A and B are shown apart, each in its own frame.
Chain A
Amino acid sequence: MIQKIVIVGGGSAGWLTAGIIAARFQSSERYIQISLVESPEVSTIGVGEGTWPTMRTTLKKIGLSETDFLSCCDASFKQGSKFIGWRSESSEDVYYHPFTLPNQKVTWRFLSAWKRYFPHLSFAEAASFQSKLCDLGVAPKLITMAEYGGAANYAYHLDAGKFVELLKRHCTENLGVNYIRDHVVRIATKDNGDIAAIVTKDNGEIAADLFIDCSGSSAILLAGHYQIPFTSIRQYSFNDRALAMQIPYADDNVPIASATLSTAKSAGWIWDIGLTSRRGTGYVYSEAHSDREAAEREIRNYAAQSIGVAAAESLPVKQLTFEPGHRAEFWHRNVVAVGMAAGFIEPLEASALALVELSANFIRDELPASDDAMTVVAKRFNKLFAYRWQRIVEFLKLHYVLSGRTDTDYWRDVKADSAVPDGLKEMLELWQYRPPYYNDFPHTEEIFPEASYQYILYGMNFQPKFPYVEIAEDASEVLLIKEALSKAKTYRENLPNNRDLLAAMRRHGMSKI
């Protein structure tokens, strides 16, 4: 019977996993004891500040109030991503990937209606009201709406360090998670090869039935102990360095962007995440195509656009190095890896925290009752997450392959035939004749829905070979595009701006209903 779970590592992955599992079994007939062991000698990475809308469900289930979360983590509302300079070098070149799904099925008839009657609109504008809200810095909800509810679908931007602190407090004070601050010195195994216990410096042996490896890229259990090989995805995903820089707001009136800004640069792209307290930015680039000095110049120039040269030159930058890829197996014997211990890829669509949520949800829902069941659960977990990684790699690649940029080696190399996964090539061939639809993504819990592919594909100006069809002026496709436009108008007239709403929420709080 699996009763004791030990989580190794206390970053966002460790505490989020602890919270997700502990909240489920807190008031359950099944007794589960969760301990989290965090080394005082290892510091957490502290980036990963964008989430998916799934985080709303996650936080609600864990039992955190949205008001507490927003104020503790300097968090703000994220309604999608804005891609700047991905089609061409121009800073005017922008498109959105909003979280709200298109208001109609994206069919050939829809594409034809859009091109015939609304050629001046972007795909996102024709399919959803939300990109307009992002453009205008309008919040996704009213203060009178319940916690975790919104007029438009939304996720968060958050301060990763503060998020970990909040989760840790909540897990230890309210969810009964046992926190052990100690360094793992050795692994004790059973005869069958399972891990029996981790041996710590001060607390000795800590035994468990299941170990969750959240120790970051070193993956001390899965890689360190079991030597599970690493599957590199460098062939497809070039970026392996990041220069992170926190940028202060010039004053209290600067709008807080309600979308993650992703600006393409000469050897990668810059993320820009607006919190209530500051912006978190970072240049994620390919070491093979740039060097630290040139990259630092690019991010400082980027910062200078909003805060001036002098301020931009004085800000500290922090360099991060990562190897794009994932473990060949995620769950081996009685160890499962979550977070960077499982793998890491550039944060282009903020998949890191989402993968933690998905992994922890799976472990929670399938928590094997016995060692025999564990073998089956592990096999299923490995299969599902290998598929998810493949999907992430392909989806991220989609952002690059359609780019018209040829200004640097980087932009020429990322589109090279050998750098594009076969699965993506096949889909691009099909999409010449029809839009991405559900048959392309057969899993019940796809990591990115077909809408995401549609927003990127048509956002990047994909030109299908197949001719558009003739659509009547009063066809339902046309009327639904008009409806999206009028909804955008109603919402922007009635919803507050992002900064004002966040300020009002900090002052008054929100109600849980």
Chain B
Amino acid sequence: MSALQGAARKCIGFLASDDEREDRLGDLEELLGAVERKAGSAAARQRYLREAGAICFSIAQRRLRRAITNGGVDMARIILWAALSVAGVFLFLFLGGGSVFVYMQPFEWAVMLAAMIGFAAAGRRLGAWPGILADLRRAGNLGGRARLDRRAAYLRKPDPSADFVHLDGILRIARQADAAEADRRISGGIALFREKSRQRLRVVEQTARDAYAGAAIAGIFGLIHLLEHLDMPLPDIGHVLAGAVSASFFGVILGRAVIAPIASQLSALYEQQAREMEALRLSLGGKDEAVPVDTFDILASGLTAYA
């Protein structure tokens, strides 16, 4: 094997997950053998490198796509998204020329600040934030190489926001009650979990809508401010106009780039959890003893959303 082939293998080994590595490298070996028999070793080597490059590219492309799709799931990424969006607004204003504080009028800052405080207060009032933050932390721990192990560890932990629905709770019910009663109680618990999930999701979705509303209100204030200064020289009017749209821009960015991805990720997480619980419930049906190994097989088969 040439050094280039070795490098190509290392590249796949580095990018691919454990399962993929086995599958992709096996396919490459098989292809190498087939081309070698048909067209000789030089052609096979060339083909190997070309295919290895295409495989690396396809894995990298898929990872990027999933990183974007799953963006904003953990707190670090949320903070990064928020910081980037604020930095983006500041850069936008800076490139427009002049100080950002000239463009962002104090009342616009006040509107955005009020929107954020309202967002935090509403969540706190509804008692949703501790659960949502815990879910986001948990979702953040689902990625990576050892995701199944982490997922299994997570399922074993009791969830303070949905007291029974995780593995231990479900198995405890299955051990304590007869099959029909256990099924009834687990089904009720899953329905409760779905309802709680919907409530939490509504808080985040409402927040995204509030950010858009905040953007619209800030825009209107900005326009009023502009109308008050129509007698100014044209370059100064330009500055005021930029101020009028900047807070709106910030509000839309906040809603679209930060809060909406959180909502969509939470939605996917809750759906996945509910499906896992259903799988668990079905796997327990009709058995005298709960068999965690079976249930983990069933769970593992459905764990594709966070790969």
Q: Do A and B come from one complex?
A: no
